[in-house]
Structure 1
Amino acid sequence: MPTAIIADDERLMRDQLRMRLSQVWPELEILGEAKNGEEAIELTQQHQPDIVFLDIRMPGKTGLEAAQGIGPQAHIVFITAYDQYAVEAFERGAIDYVLKPAEPERLKMTVERIKSRLAAPPPDMGSLLVQLAKQMGVAAKPNYLKWIQASIGQDLRLIPVEEVLFFISDEKYTRVQTARVEALIRKPVKELHEELDPALFWQIHRSTLVNVNAIDGVTRDLRGRHLVMVKGLGEKLEVSRSFVHLFKQM
């Protein structure tokens, strides 16, 4: 049974979050509640929960400071009224960043992310060796982009890069396409290509990057052009001649 701790200096907010979590995730057991960051750290050490739900602004230690103190002991989700700390929160390894009031539909998305993280296998020996190399001062792997800050209507959202199916640019904007939403950013594909993990995103056209996990197959049209079929979408992405070699073994 998954377990969690809630940390918020307002009792009503704690009660509301507990109630809504019980609606969207009945199996989740709340082991305790904290009124500040220091209590959140203490309860985490005492109960060893799977997840800690943290407010940002609390007396004493803030939610961000508490997350630093908790470290890898638990997965962190921030539930806060302030949107300006989102980037720092994700830099501290948060699974999600939810703005108050945490509506049930939004919490369902958070729960799915948590479940995916909890179901992930433990790090393999290769990952452990990478960590050991870091401790010994050996060159670490490049720090690839993890989140995309994009506009969806009037809202500004942070999208995990692994959820992006593809990026495609025109003269002014780059379209960010996930299975659920379409967003726009001003960063061109050329810059994205330098910041994204090349093992995860392949450039198939000077204006297009595609997530390798989203490739359903490759077909050819009547003009002989190679087209990438995207999983879950009816859309097909053109492959320029310069990048056809990527699919020779498919």
Structure 2
Amino acid sequence: MVKVLVVDDEQPARQRLISFISAYSEFEVIAEADNGIDAVRLANELKPDLLFLDIQMPKGDGFDVVSELIHDPVIVFATAYDEYAIEAFNVHALDYLLKPYSKERFRQSVTKLKKVLVDPKEYISRTQEAVGSLNPEHKYLKRVSVKDKFVYSIIPVQKIEKITTSNGMIYLHVNEKKYQTDTTLNQFERRLDPQHFMRIHRSSIVNLEKIIRLMPWGQGRLAVVLEDNSSLQVSRERMQEFKERVGLRL
């Protein structure tokens, strides 16, 4: 019997997935979780053979969960966001189910699962094959959705000037407007193209294209000034990398 842990912050999505799994007698759902912290705890306590995992969740995303596992279950990501596909396979996920997926698409995933559970070597070869077949354009975010009062706005990432944190909240700054988001700075750091964005401080990420000048800030440190005339400090730990990224020689 293959022990399965289902992780998704949306109850209808968990129920639908569990109903699909129940059609296969060799799989047994032993637990479910709706956030990253519970997912890590249950996975490390119960040691499932198979982990169906959402990506964007409260209290740690799917990649955070994978990084905290103390054993190696087979992983299948099930998410509504196609831009995470390459990162998913780079952490050796077997498959990537894009919501809303059909029973036929789920059956294809089960076929892969059965093969790798019989022959673990098949696991690595299939993930490598999957990475090679993906479009590199999916590696980084192209746009983000944010809630603005009662509607959701879609923002191309190149319009983002900076991303900051204050009192535990994360904000996107676009055209002098500020949008709150549930996505963490760590998640944005992984998902934004490093050619255009850099985390210059533990509390901020900047769009390098939006920097209009640099100012001295204390001994050997700098502050960046953006197109909206706001300024942000570059931390001492990130100073050398920042200088290299902007081609600065001091």
TM-score, normalising length: structure 2: 0.49
